[in-house]
Structure 1
Amino acid sequence: MTAYAIFIQERSRDAAELQTYAEMLRPLLGESGGTVLAAHGPQDVLEGAAPDGVVMVSFPTMEAARAFYDSPGYQAAVKHRFLGADYRSFIIGGIK
């Protein structure tokens, strides 16, 4: 079943750290089987405060999404995301 990793950027703190994260992330996604479906695009906020940005990545399975997140390469990159902004992140299983 397809799974989606959702990253909601609540508040930015350090653009340079976020840039480092983005540069490290690109090759990792290519190796993981993940596909970016949305990344910091226009928002039509229906309820609540608008986040700074949202990224949605699809993976073939929940296990593949979690393996990507837990991988040594991503764990090295995610440190820069933590320094660059406050996020909420989760993996959700698709319907089919």
Structure 2
Amino acid sequence: MPAYVVFIRDQPPHDPEQMSVYQAMNRQSVPSSLPFGIKPLAVYGATEALEGKAPDGTVILQFPSMAKARAWYNSAEYQAALPYRLNASDYRAFIIDGLGS
């Protein structure tokens, strides 16, 4: 069953330099992310609020399973980049189970 990692940023980054480092580290780690079956579905695309306030940015990543999503999040590569995102901006992040076929 697929799983989705969702990142929601309500405000622009307060430290753009730290965010740039985080983004660069993520781009460099793409080859090591492939075994997790990661598939970006939405990455800071245009957002239209239907109810409430639209977030400043949203990322939705699809994985083959909750286990693969957790393994990616807990991987050495992502954990090395994570402090830069945490220092740069406030996010909400969660994993959600998808619907089975």
Superposition map of 1:46-61 within 5 A: 46-61=50-65
Structure 1 stretches of 4+ moved >3 Å: none
The structural deviation recorded for 1:19 is 1.1
The structural deviation recorded for 1:26 is 2.0
Superposition map of 1:1-96 within 5 A: 1-11=1-11, 12-32=13-33, 33-96=37-100
CA RMSD for the aligned pairs? 1.2
CA distance in 1, matches of 2:31, 2:51: 33
> How many residues were matched structurally?
96
Q: Which amino acid aligns with 1:72?
A: A
- Secondary structure of 1:56 counterpart: strand
Normalising to structure 1: TM-score of the pair? 0.92
Where structure 2 has 5 or more consecutive residues not aligned to the other structure, the ranges are none
Where structure 1 has 5 or more consecutive residues not aligned to the other structure, the ranges are none
**Residue identity (%):** 44
Structure 1's 59 and 30: CA in aligned 2 closer, same or farther, altered over 3 A?
farther
Normalising to structure 2: TM-score of the pair? 0.88
CA distance in 2, matches of 1:30, 1:59: 15
CA distance in 1, matches of 2:29, 2:64: 15
